[in-house]
Amino acid sequence: MSSWITSNVWLVPATPIVVALLILGIGKTARMTSAILAVIGQLAALTMSIFAFVPTLHTHGFRAVENFTWFTFGDQSLRIGFVLDPLAAAMMLMITLVGLCIFVFSIGYMHEDKNFSRFFAYLSFFSGAMLGVVVANSLLLLFISWELVGLASYLLIGFWIERPSAAAAAKKAFITTRIGDMGFFVGILWLYHQSGTLVFYDNGHGCLEPAALAAIGSSVTLVALLIFCGAVGKSGQFPLHVWLPDAMEGPTPVSALIHAATMVAAGVFLVARVYPIFSVGAIDGVTPSLEVVVWIGVITGLMAALIAVAQSDIKRILAYSTVSQLGLMMVSLGVGGVAAGIMHLLAHGFFKALLFLGAGSVIHGLHHEQDIRKMGGLRKLMPITFATYAIGMMALSGVPFFFSGGWTKEEILHATEHWPQSHVPHYLMLAGVILTALYMTRQVIYVFFGQPRAASSHAHESPRVMTIPLILLAACAILFSIVLTPA
Amino acid sequence: MTLSIFLIVSAALFSIGLLAALSRRHAIFILIGIEMMLAAANINFIAFWRFTATPTQPIGVMVAIFAIAIAAAEAAVGLAMVIAVYRHFRSTNVDQLNQLKG
Amino acid sequence: MSAVAFVIISILTLSAALAAATNPKLMHAALSFAVMFVGISAFFFLLGAEFVGLVQIFVYIGAVAVLIVFTILLTRHDQEKTRGFNWSGVVISIAVFAGLVWAILGTKSLSVAPGRFAFVSVRRIGELLMINYAWPLLCVGVLLTAALIGALILVMEDKRE
């Protein structure tokens, strides 16, 4: 089974996309059918991801590559395929697992919405495109999937098309990420011009392998920074962070899936994927392009944490928190802690999705009230939501031992402490971590503790279809720390 | 893969374009039909170039490029006319644009 | 050139063209019009004219189809559907199609296999445009300028009155 999957990894992104087309085909009225189809598709992708993940654990430096020649023009050819290595496999697992929880949650959250089937079609399409980004075998295929992810994000943020604010937010998201993608595209063109190939691993001729990296020569910093532009746009780094808070106009499951767990993770994933280009000629693990990554991450992390302290919309706090955490991840990648950064990415995917879904449960229970100053005392009225939200909050704040966030943040701070270039990122990120604990505690106290304020008086706990994914994600947030404990 | 099968497909496309141009009453649909006919003719050019001439001289490609440019110019002017007429008559139904009818 | 690819592309193109020609809803017709051009572009790729295929995507889908969508949105009236379908058009188009097919199948010299495949590079096309086809290129430039100015004048509102 595992060997069949490792040679057919392309099925993992293809399944949700086929499901999305099927759902669009069956029409608006088949509501439950579309939801069940979407969940089955995601479950199939999850199963395949698990089977694909297992062999990557056994062998050190595992990499399964498949480059299929689609068509040739002249003496060049377009090759599509996949790369399966521990990075891709772990990302696939996180995306499918978090996606499955969110799909099930959406059945309850979007229950009264009249565009129920369209929502699941878009969710499946997004899931397939994101998986495509993760397993792509060449920068071209990655870019194509990248743009499809941006399209899916536009469709999902602006899902409630009657709202002008949602349409404006969707436009803002698309245009801002497009600006980053322009830089990304120029970087791809330049890389192709210098090295002659965009395929990652190609029996020694791939663009991430030493031969091509040497051919790029002195412009490798510029190429790396241009590719980083795409990551800046997609992951909401400064100065292209402006779209993330406005993207909260979309339904909460969308915020959980796209802007917490997966799409914004694509930028961090991109930097990790093309890390050889960033680290060419590294002296002590420092290159000019990596320095830029660190500083932009630092600015983003600190700035967003400061803004989050002053927010009063429950989802905006989480949105700025996401921007801040992504900054932290970029810092980690920049100082050389690639494994730590990716571990934080995976853990963050779990607990941020948990937090967003918990916020969705709160919003649903309070009949679409989102201002935390009008909430309070929900600890007794929505106990399961409170418990899972508290677990997510402690994981995000980095409470040690039991919660995965604590381990990963410790790793990152450890890596920044040993950066030869400067100690400023370490201290600023430490401040960011403290601020994270501050605003999350503030949010939890406002929402769950104290006396019930305006909207909370008639709150009720969410149905089981919404609380079970919460419990599952909370379990993942805790269990992930078992993986991370230095054994 | 013979030449005739490509020509049959482009003939089908041409007649569908003719269908759109002749049987629809909305001015924009007629323009859509015209664009379809032009595209079908382009396929013909390229197919003939590929199959019969020695493909080292890209004559068919050149003609197709010019045809695409001309089609774009014609589409722009045609649509500008549709907008101008709509402003005046508040209708795009060609049956109602009959002031010059004798 | 594979026969499977040809069959799939031609089914896609012809069904999209049929949808564009007969769908009473304007927006749906315009969007299937764009899909049809994707199919035609795929035909060009199949025939070895990759540059023309890409130019087709840029110009037709990126410009002409978008223009048509804009015009539909600008000339919207109360009714979204268009009334009126002239059935004599169907008869004429079927007659034309039958005549063309009879002519194609009747010509023996058209049943040829593809010639030697030689790759036409963009550099070659550029050279030809600038050297052999310079005069038509300049004429097309003038034509496009004239079309641009003409379209602007047609749509410009009269501020003087």
Q: What is the pLDDT of residue A124?
A: 93
Exposure on the CB side of residue A211, measured as CA atoms within 13 A: 11
Tens of pLDDT along chain A (487 residues)?
777 777 788 888 889 999 998 888 887 777 888 888 899 999 999 999 888 888 887 777 777 788 887 777 767 778 888 888 888 888 999 999 999 999 998 888 888 888 888 899 999 999 999 999 999 888 889 999 999 999 999 999 989 888 888 999 999 989 999 999 999 999 999 988 888 888 888 777 778 887 778 877 788 888 899 999 989 988 888 888 888 888 888 888 888 888 777 878 899 999 999 888 888 877 777 888 888 899 999 999 999 999 999 888 888 899 999 999 999 999 999 888 888 888 888 888 888 888 998 888 888 888 777 888 888 778 888 888 888 888 888 888 888 777 777 888 888 888 888 888 888 888 898 899 999 999 999 988 888 888 777 766 677 777 877 888 888 888 887 887 777 665 4
State the Cα–Cα distance between residues A314 and A448, nearest whole angstrom: 12
pTM: 0.85
pLDDT, tens only, A15-27: 999 999 888 888 7
pLDDT, tens only, A353-363: 889 988 888 88
Instruction: Flag the least confident range among A453-457, B40-44, C14-18.
Output: A453-457
Instruction: Report the length, in residues, of chain A.
Output: 487
Q: Which two tokens stand for residue A478?
A: 């805790």
Query: Do the domain assignments include residue C90?
Result: no
Q: What distance in Å separates residue B101's CA from the closest CA in chain C?
A: 19
Q: What distance in Å separates residue A30's CA from the closest CA in chain C?
A: 22
Q: What distance in Å separates residue A442's CA from the closest CA in chain C?
A: 48
- Residue carrying the six token digits 């390229």: B46
* Number of helical (H) and strand (E) elements in chain A, helices listed first: 21, 2
- Cβ distance C50 to A75 less than 8 Å, yes or no, reads no
Whether residues C128 and C53 share a domain: the answer is no
State the Cα–Cα distance between residues B93 and B29, nearest whole angstrom: 10
Q: What distance in Å separates residue A184's CA from the closest CA in chain C?
A: 20
Task: List the Cα angle C12/C15/C20 in 5-degree steps.
Answer: 120
Whether residues C75 and C124 share a domain: the answer is no
Domain count for chain C, please give it: 2
State the Cα–Cα distance between residues B77 and C153, nearest whole angstrom: 10
Among C31, C56, C60, C81, most B C-beta atoms within 10 A, so best to mutate, is C60
Q: Which residues contact A487 (CB under 8 A, 6 or more apart)?
A: none
Whether residues C76 and C128 share a domain: the answer is no
- Cβ distance C119 to A75 less than 8 Å, yes or no, reads yes
Q: Which residues contact A297 (CB under 8 A, 6 or more apart)?
A: A237, A326, A327, A328, A329, A330, A331, A332, A333, A334, A425
Burial class (CB in 10 A: 0-12, 13-18, 19+), A151: middle
Q: Provide the 3-class DSSP secondary structure of residue B22.
A: helix
Chain B 22-81, residues with CB within 8 Å of chain C CB atoms: 22-26, 28-29, 31-33, 35-36, 39, 42-43, 46-47, 49-56, 58, 60-62, 64-66, 68-77, 79-81
Ramachandran region, residue C115 (left: φ > 0; alpha: ψ -120 to 50; beta: rest): beta
Q: Provide the 3-class DSSP secondary structure of residue A82.
A: strand
Q: What is the ipTM of this complex?
A: 0.86
**Do residues A105 and A253 touch, judged by C-beta distance below 8 A?**
yes
The CATH number of whichever domain residue C28 belongs to comes to: 1.20.120.1200
Determine what percent of chain C is predicted with pLDDT higher than 90: 43
DSSP string, A459-482: --PPPHHHHHHHHHHHHHHHHHHH
Chain A residue with CA closest to C51: the answer is A73
State the Cα–Cα distance between residues A125 and A21, nearest whole angstrom: 8
State the Cα–Cα distance between residues B87 and A205, nearest whole angstrom: 60
Task: List the Cα angle A243/A246/A251 in 5-degree steps.
Answer: 120
Query: Do the domain assignments include residue C18?
Result: yes
- Whether residue C32 lies within 8 A of chain B, CB to CB, comes out as no
DSSP string, A374-439: G---HHHHSHHHHHHHHHHHHHHHT-TTTSHHHHHHHHHHHHHHT-SS-SHHHHHHHHHHHHHHHH
**Do residues A284 and A149 touch, judged by C-beta distance below 8 A?**
no
- Whether residue C17 lies within 8 A of chain B, CB to CB, comes out as yes
The whole domain housing C161 covers 120-161
Whether residues C58 and C127 share a domain: the answer is no
In angstroms and rounded to an integer, the radius of gyration of the C-alpha atoms of chain B is 17
Whether residues C128 and C57 share a domain: the answer is no
Q: What distance in Å separates residue A73's CA from the closest CA in chain C?
A: 7
Q: Which two tokens stand for residue A401?
A: 């031992």
State the Cα–Cα distance between residues C69 and C33, nearest whole angstrom: 10
Query: Do the domain assignments include residue C148?
Result: yes
Q: What is the pLDDT of residue A263?
A: 79
Residues of C in contact with B43 (CB under 8 A): 40, 43-44
> All domains of chain B, ordered by start, with CATH?
3-96 (1.10.287.3510)
- Cβ distance C119 to A71 less than 8 Å, yes or no, reads no
Query: Do the domain assignments include residue C58?
Result: yes
Instruction: Report the length, in residues, of chain C.
Output: 161
Query: Do the domain assignments include residue C91?
Result: no
